[in-house]
Structure 1
């Protein structure tokens, strides 16, 4: 049994499956996460689900000017609050999904977290679509399958609407693959650290508008976009043909086959047509 596991048991804490709690205890991997974060003295950092503070203690030692710790669990919130009641830390007892829509932070702003797996995709969506301060960079521990899906290339059947959105707004890569045996309790899945950098929101439309179009395109993944995307928005056939000719888009393709540039062109046009 690892030291982290013993500490959890001796402290009387039992990980909650409903909260997706799996605590990282490998110091070398934690150091790699910190390195990937490229933290400077100007950065504000958000950590979601700090748990017992294995990553937190390294964040506190970093040059970051501000560290925001968001913990939903009552027991862990009290533990983290006692450990890290410091001038540059702010410990918040709240569900991350209710915090994010009201989170205003002075930039540069980075999110560095070992995310609870049961909320990983909703957290990413919220940070990109409803957070008043868009992160400049995110370094997130995710289920490996989720991380791989988020960087799936054009034409890959694993692509989904969130893959297309991530590709549209940032550069994403898997920085580290992490064995499940580096966590307590040991999860059933493998993990990966996803780095999302150079995050820039679209200029000509909102992320919410982009999401509406992307969801329509991917709602029936095996359908061609002439039926799924254009059919959903009831675009007249002559307009479909016009857009296809204008942007050299084959309407017999599936959503997974469209490039970032294809999506940007279509979302902009759908906005101009008043469809979103």
Structure 2
């Protein structure tokens, strides 16, 4: 392998960043992962990619994009807001003709189900830190279930990843844990040290893998969202107080929950029962 190429036959990512002037922007929540062995590990964590369309958010200079294509993704749709990255991504597209579509735009304004167009889809992304949680909540709370995607393989700060996979009675258990636990099987696949990124963030990151449950307990997604928001919005208070606006003590007694309990002690099933009672 010459110094001018990487394991996929494209230039090393450091060279790409230098050539296109792609220093990471804090305002866009960018931290680039340059080690193609690590991006390959992320791609493998998503399982078999042959025959599926992979949607990626925030590809940046294309490190993970390249790994997804190299590991057999039939097609990758990469959503990138930073116009500076488009030329670098065009080079990847030329290297893998017909397999990479780059969409220039804001992921928060993107119709992901529309992009999927009924095709088998997996979402794999090193999400920009500033929009990661919001995107995950949107994907967990889509109206139609099973959802348009087969799985989510996403990178978050370790602390956020722990909240996503948290179980009741743990300090990390909150709204994210309820939503993820209700509709998916979520696990942390592996950690990624800060020094693997450019620039290095101040924290360790984790890759999480979420697979949708075919038949989660029935509840109105918007009502469950409101119940969890109210309960964890005042997590140190007893539920009779934090859920006062939704019926408080009376609501809790309806479903047989002790009004003096606190939000983090409730199971996902109990939150679903509350949402149904509301």
* TM-score (structure 1 length as normaliser): 0.86
Which sections of structure 1, spanning at least 5 residues, go unmatched? 271-276
Equivalent residue, structure 1, for 2:246: 233
The structure 1 residue matched to 2:155, chosen from 141, 159, 165, is 141
Deviation digits for residues 64-96 of structure 1 (CA, Å, limit 9, x no counterpart):
333111000001123213421532322100111
Q: Secondary structure at the match of 2:103?
A: strand
The structure 1 residue matched to 2:54, chosen from 34, 45, 58, is 45
Equivalent residue, structure 1, for 2:36: 27
* TM-score (structure 2 length as normaliser): 0.86
- Per the TM alignment, residue 39 of structure 1 is displaced from its structure 2 partner at its CA by 2.4
Equivalent residue, structure 2, for 1:169: 183
CA RMSD of aligned residues (A): 2.2
- Per the TM alignment, residue 243 of structure 1 is displaced from its structure 2 partner at its CA by 1.9
- 8 Å CA contact retained: 1:100, 1:130: no
- Per the TM alignment, residue 227 of structure 1 is displaced from its structure 2 partner at its CA by 1.5
The CA distance in 1 between the partners of 2:166 and 2:249, in whole Å, is: 32
The CA distance in 2 between the partners of 1:49 and 1:107, in whole Å, is: 21
- Per the TM alignment, residue 58 of structure 1 is displaced from its structure 2 partner at its CA by 1.8
- Per the TM alignment, residue 202 of structure 1 is displaced from its structure 2 partner at its CA by 4.3
The CA distance in 2 between the partners of 1:226 and 1:207, in whole Å, is: 22
The CA distance in 1 between the partners of 2:270 and 2:135, in whole Å, is: 26
- 8 Å CA contact retained: 1:48, 1:113: yes
Whether 1:98 and 2:99 are equivalent positions in the alignment is: no
The CA distance in 1 between the partners of 2:269 and 2:45, in whole Å, is: 28
Q: Secondary structure at the match of 1:118?
A: coil
Equivalent residue, structure 1, for 2:226: 212
Q: Write out the 4+ residue segments of structure 1 that deviate beyond 4 Å after TM superposition.
A: 130-133, 199-203
Residues 211, 134 of structure 1: alpha-carbon distance in 2 compared, 3 angstrom cutoff: farther
Which sections of structure 2, spanning at least 5 residues, go unmatched? 1-11
- 8 Å CA contact retained: 1:42, 1:64: yes
Instruction: Report the more deviating stretch, 193-202 or 108-117.
Output: 193-202
